[in-house]
Amino acid sequence: MDPPFPAERGVDVYNKKLGMWVFLASEVMFFAALIGSYVILRFGAPGEWAKPGVVLNIKITAFNTFLLICSSVSMVKAYAAVSDGDIGKMRFWLLMTILGGACFVGIQVFEYIHLVERGFVPAGVREGSELAEMVAKGELPGATMGLYGSTFFTMTGFHGFHVTCGVISMLFLYLTKALPGKYTQQDHAGIEVVGLYWHFVDLVWIILFTIVYLI
């Protein structure tokens, strides 16, 4: 609970927001472990890494990235709206954010299914699949595909899990607080705090998109 009046001066950030910043610090370490391992494994890999775009669909994922960034923008707009007292606009932009996030996850799941169909799995390349043929023809480096699959699915999978948790949380707040008018110009901590989480998740994705898809 927020400290009663009066209290000794802490940092001038209210508890829920401070709590979210602190939580995000732990999330940074979690993703650092996964991403750091990826960097170590990739730079120490016993051969060439697969070229960008051969296994993964950059075009669709670029659109997905754009979608996620847009949902961060709509999140900012929702927060700006409620700070100005415009509850209707806040509801609209929050809903847009939820839809953007849900679409992101949906497209991600679609991409996963497609990859698995082509033969790309966490263990690497499935025997007898389309990608296995590409390995046999030398279009994909067989020596590193195991690492590629392991790191790709773990990093993007946990990111997707975090996005999903964000979408569910926002939906929960939308239904229990935003719609029934419980957020006001003075009292809307939930929007700000979930917004922080959402921007973090977006930032992690931009990093992942760059180092996993593009490079």
Q: Where does this chain bind other proteins (CB under 8 A)? A: 1-16, 18-19, 22-23, 25-27, 29-34, 37, 40-41, 44-47, 83, 121-124, 143-144, 146-147, 149-151, 153-154, 158, 186-187, 189, 192
Q: What distance in Å separates the CA atoms of residue 89 and residue 131, rounded to the nearest whole number?
A: 47
Nearer to other proteins, 41 or 214 (CB): 41
Nearer to other proteins, 61 or 144 (CB): 144
Nearer to other proteins, 42 or 63 (CB): 42
CB atoms within 10 A of CB 160: 19
Q: How far is the CB of 126 from other proteins (least distance, A)?
A: 10
Q: What distance in Å separates the CA atoms of residue 16 and residue 1, rounded to the nearest whole number?
A: 8
Q: Is 153 left (phi over 0), alpha (psi -120 to 50) or beta?
A: alpha
Cα end-to-end span (Å), the chain: 45
What size, in residues, is the chain?
215
Q: How far is the CB of 3 from other proteins (least distance, A)?
A: 5
Q: How far is the CB of 87 from other proteins (least distance, A)?
A: 16
Nearer to other proteins, 3 or 53 (CB): 3
Q: Which helix (H) or strand (E) holds 124?
A: strand 124-125
